[in-house]
Structure 1
Amino acid sequence: MLIFMLPLFPFTFFILPLAALTLALVQPRQLSGPKGIDVSHFQGTIDWSSVAANGISFVFIKATEGTTFLDPNFSDNYIGATDAGLIRGGYHFAHPDSSSGATQANYFLARGGGWSADGITLPGMLDIEYNPSGDECYGLSASAMVSWIQDFSNTYESQTGRYPIIYTTTDWWTTCTGNSAAFANDNPLFIAHYASTIGTIPAGWPFATFWQYADSGPNPGDQDVFNGDAAGLERIAKGS
């Protein structure tokens, strides 16, 4: 068994097996990566040059919800973030009780949720979480919810060549998908957990690619961090 000596602050060392070292290296880097935000019309008009000057590297912008809502600020936010030099992408708030995953993916794709390998566009994000007005799991069983997400994800991938990022909470995912591990190989995870540490993440995923760690802060919208460095964030945008 290979072993490695890693520092244990302040001046001690411990022996770590190779498997544990691998796990440690893919755990979220907490708040050390590039910072981002996610926004919608609720933030009103945003001064994107100030956001960029304040250390933000990326942004997810609400585009659509269900099949009846197009965020009125999406276009202005998307153009403003682009002009400010930010890596950006759109997100879709899911309503699995109103129409199929494929229908909502197509609605999202036709209204700003697409992806291109230009180095500044993040894959679209599926925001799948607590029902804002009704049953927590939208009246779907765990297996039906997994099927709905697969329908959305496969439709998005068939048109863009990229699987969408999945934004959720561990609590909702566990409750409403039965803690499914079906998406861990293809879909990057964006976990929401407002705390000083990222906490437990859903089954299958060895790490979260993005972490929403606060719902307010020095920049508009929710406060996010990428699990990696600036080069890694660019690779996500390029599709490599």
Structure 2
Amino acid sequence: MATKPIRRKSPIQKKPSRKTASKRKFVPLIIGFIVVLFFAITIYHYRDALAYYFSFRSRHELKEAESSKVEEARIFQVLKRHHPKVAGFDVSEYQGTIQWDQVKTVEDTFALSFVFIRATAGKNRVDKKFATNWKQAKANGLIRGAYHYYRPNENSIKQAELFIKTVHLLKGDFPPVLDIENLPKTQSVDSLKVGLKRWLKKVEDHYKVKPIIYSGERYYKDFLKDDFKGYPFWIANYNFFVENIKDDWLFWQFTEKGTIPGIEGPVDLNIYNGTPKMLNYQVNSK
């Protein structure tokens, strides 16, 4: 017996109510308002720095730099906020030939008092510009420090021996610096920590002063903070919204986009967590 096919009714599509449609119209307006508000707050927050950059000061020429104007404004704001703490920078062979007699200030305003200079990397690499930079920094009145770039997969004692052979510290210099940024590829993190402690002990035994450890903030929190208590830390954090040095940081590297007369290209800038008097006491009390 044949049956008639059953017709299915198509679902009734409801039209959005006027209230729903009205809400949808307001969504872009709300988003736009939030964006405008965000930029307004940012501009207000950096008002002093922006006023500085867009002023008509004859001694400050606006040049095209690798860093954006917003980053330059942040640099100015951070340095101003931390006065009278001490500003400095760090260099390696990648900065090329530095005109040390021109290295006086950053942003034409803030005096530069110290510099960290890369000396060695791994077990067999001496920075090509270290000898010159080390000598010239002292000659131009900067407090200087030397750092070693640690390679996790190379022998820690050989790395320490290379640093000791290369760097001769004098009274008034910073303690040695161990720069650790990478995780090992061929060993465990625990094994890495053993190697770091061997480097630190050998270097401390030689120079009779506890070394400084440099690293990024995340690396510091995840791998170093708990196991290397008692060491002074130099921390890198370039976060746009971080504007204050933390109590447990001896130094803060707050940008890699600084502009300094006498140095071509961007430069890392740092703040010492203390006054000039405290800094002079620290480097001359050894």
| Paired amino acid for 1:192 | A
Q: Does the 8 A contact of 2:145 with 2:176 survive in 1?
A: yes
The DSSP-based 3-state class of the residue aligned with 1:150 is: helix
Once the two structures are superposed, the pairs formed by residues 64-143 of structure 1 within 5 Å of their partners are 64-100=120-156, 102-112=157-167, 114-116=168-170, 118-119=171-172, 121-130=173-182, 136-143=183-190
* CA 1:200–1:237: 2 relative to 1, 3 Å: closer
The answer for unaligned runs of 5 or more in structure 1 is 1-28, 131-135
How much does 1:161 deviate?
0.8
For residues 162-214 of structure 1, what are the alpha-carbon distances to aligned partners after superposition, in whole Å with 9 as ceiling and x for unaligned? 11110001222344x2x5423221x210000013526897xxxx510000000
Counterpart-to-counterpart distance in 2, 1:198 and 1:166: 21
Q: TM-score scaled to structure 1, two decimals? A: 0.74
Whether 2:87 is the aligned partner of 1:35: answer yes
Write 1 or 2 for the structure with the bigger share of strand.
1
Cα RMSD, aligned residues only: 2.2
Counterpart-to-counterpart distance in 2, 1:230 and 1:83: 19
How much does 1:91 deviate?
0.6
The residue aligned with 2:232 is 188
Counterpart-to-counterpart distance in 2, 1:200 and 1:146: 26
Q: TM-score scaled to structure 2, two decimals? A: 0.63
| Paired amino acid for 1:115 | L
* CA 1:109–1:41: 2 relative to 1, 3 Å: same
The DSSP-based 3-state class of the residue aligned with 1:91 is: strand
Deviates more, 1:77-86 or 1:192-201: 192-201
* CA 1:207–1:30: 2 relative to 1, 3 Å: farther
Q: Does the 8 A contact of 1:30 with 1:227 survive in 2?
A: no
Q: Does the 8 A contact of 1:193 with 1:199 survive in 2?
A: no
Q: Does the 8 A contact of 2:155 with 2:195 survive in 1?
A: no
* CA 1:138–1:228: 2 relative to 1, 3 Å: farther
For residues 83-112 of structure 1, what are the alpha-carbon distances to aligned partners after superposition, in whole Å with 9 as ceiling and x for unaligned? 110000111000121112x22112101102
| Paired amino acid for 1:213 | F
Write 1 or 2 for the structure with the bigger share of helix.
2
The DSSP-based 3-state class of the residue aligned with 2:258 is: coil
| Paired amino acid for 1:159 | H
How much does 1:30 deviate?
6.5
The residue aligned with 1:11 is none
Counterpart-to-counterpart distance in 1, 2:244 and 2:198: 28
Match of 1:50 among 60, 77, 102: 102
Counterpart-to-counterpart distance in 2, 1:191 and 1:47: 27
How much does 1:149 deviate?
1.3
Q: Does the 8 A contact of 1:60 with 1:91 survive in 2?
A: yes
Aligned residues: 196
Counterpart-to-counterpart distance in 2, 1:169 and 1:163: 20
Once the two structures are superposed, the pairs formed by residues 151-166 of structure 1 within 5 Å of their partners are 151-166=198-213
The answer for unaligned runs of 5 or more in structure 2 is 1-79
Larger radius of gyration: 2
The residue aligned with 2:282 is 236
How much does 1:216 deviate?
1.6
